[in-house]
Structure 1
Amino acid sequence: MSNPAWLTEARRYIGVREIPGVTHNPLIVQMWKTIKRGGIKDDETPWCAAFVGFCLENVGIVSSRFESAKSYLSWGQPLPGPAPGCIVVFTRDGGGHVGFLEGLTIDGRLLVLGGNQGNEVNIRAFPESRVSGYRWPLSWPRPHVSLQIGAAPATGGEA
């Protein structure tokens, strides 16, 4: 299975990070504009959903166009389990998190390419126990491959 266009797009931005202080990264500010949230003009507002939406919109897929990670729980179509490139939504204290599934660690954590992970775009490992849902764009055929937790020999840092 080839990589979905949005995952290829997301990989282009690995390393983009917030700028500490009063200056804001113009690319992160552009992410807000791309998802139609141009009133947000900083890189301190949690921007994981802006990153996901930005990548989707850049390849012609309408995103949730909302600043909440949890907005992706009602976006697209649900998947019964993790699939390469799917949008994965997590719970966390005080809100949620969203990113693209890159793979699995050997111990079953999800490797997620996302924005605002330690104030930057990177790939980090998350426990499956935090997953609220797996989503896929309506305009793309559902993937036939579902990853088996604990079966992929990859590594990544804990988020």
Structure 2
Amino acid sequence: MTQLINIALSQYGVTETVGNQHNPLVLNYFKEIGHTWVTTDETAWCSAFINWVAHKANMERSHKLTARSWLKVGTKIKEPELNDVVIFWRHKKSSWKGHVGLFIGYTEDKKHIYVLGGNQNNQVNIKTYPTYRLLGFRRLQSINF
């Protein structure tokens, strides 16, 4: 079940290209999940990245570019494990804005959550997010053909 984490880790360090150029790896995340209209790596890509990872792992996806779209995918869970999807609010809780990534774990004091995701400081990395911004955790299932 660590397939999501392993796929995401294979992209660790992928970074937006500064200026008029655009990182073809970031653009490929959009392309491979069906959002071929995206032509710039400045387009918010946290959800595109998690959709791409889930696509590669043959798991459920939101198919949308908004982080909060993940609140309707998979199974809602209270006790997350490595590999689960984690969704946060951004700007303000009532806003449509958010962030999505893969749950790694809590800090020792449980005030922050370690997240592996894309578009975290414009790159794929592991970063902490405050627990008070948590909207939810989701567990994805495999898609059977």
**TM-score, length-scaled by structure 2:** 0.90
- Give the C-alpha shift of residue 41 in structure 1: 1.3
Q: Residue 31 of structure 1 is aligned with which of 25, 29, 32? A: 29
Q: Which amino acid aligns with 2:122?
A: N
Deviations 1:88-146 (A, max 9, x none): 00001151000001112112111000100000011011111111110011338xxxxxx
Q: Residue 11 of structure 2 is aligned with which of 10, 13, 38? A: 13
Contact 1:115 1:121 in 2 (8 A): yes
Q: Which amino acid aligns with 1:4?
A: T
Question: In the alignment, which residue of structure 2 is the partner of 1:120?
Answer: 123
Relative to its length, the structure with more strand (as a share) is 2
Alignment map for 1:37-76 (pairs within 5 Å): 37-76=35-74
Question: In the alignment, which residue of structure 2 is the partner of 1:148?
Answer: none
Greater Cα offset, 10-19 or 98-107: 98-107
State the Cα RMSD in Å.
1.4
**Percent identical:** 36
Deviations 1:57-108 (A, max 9, x none): 0111241111000110001111123221100000011510000011121121
2:95 aligned with 1:97, yes or no? no
Contact 1:35 1:63 in 2 (8 A): no
Q: Which amino acid aligns with 2:101?
A: G
Q: Number of paired residues?
A: 138
Q: Using the alignment, how far apart are the partners of 1:81 and 1:96 within structure 2?
A: 21
Structure 1 outlier segments of 4+, above 2 Å: none
Which ranges of structure 1 fall in alignment gaps of 5 or more residues? 141-159
2:142 aligned with 1:139, yes or no? yes
- SS class of match (2:48): helix
Deviations 1:1-41 (A, max 9, x none): xx521111101111000001111000110100122111111
Q: Using the alignment, how far apart are the partners of 1:107 and 1:80 within structure 2?
A: 18
Greater Cα offset, 76-85 or 95-104: 76-85
Q: Using the alignment, how far apart are the partners of 2:124 and 2:28 within structure 1?
A: 15
Q: Which amino acid aligns with 2:38?
A: I
**TM-score, length-scaled by structure 1:** 0.82
Q: Which amino acid aligns with 1:138?
A: Q
Q: Residue 82 of structure 1 is aligned with which of 80, 83, 98? A: 80
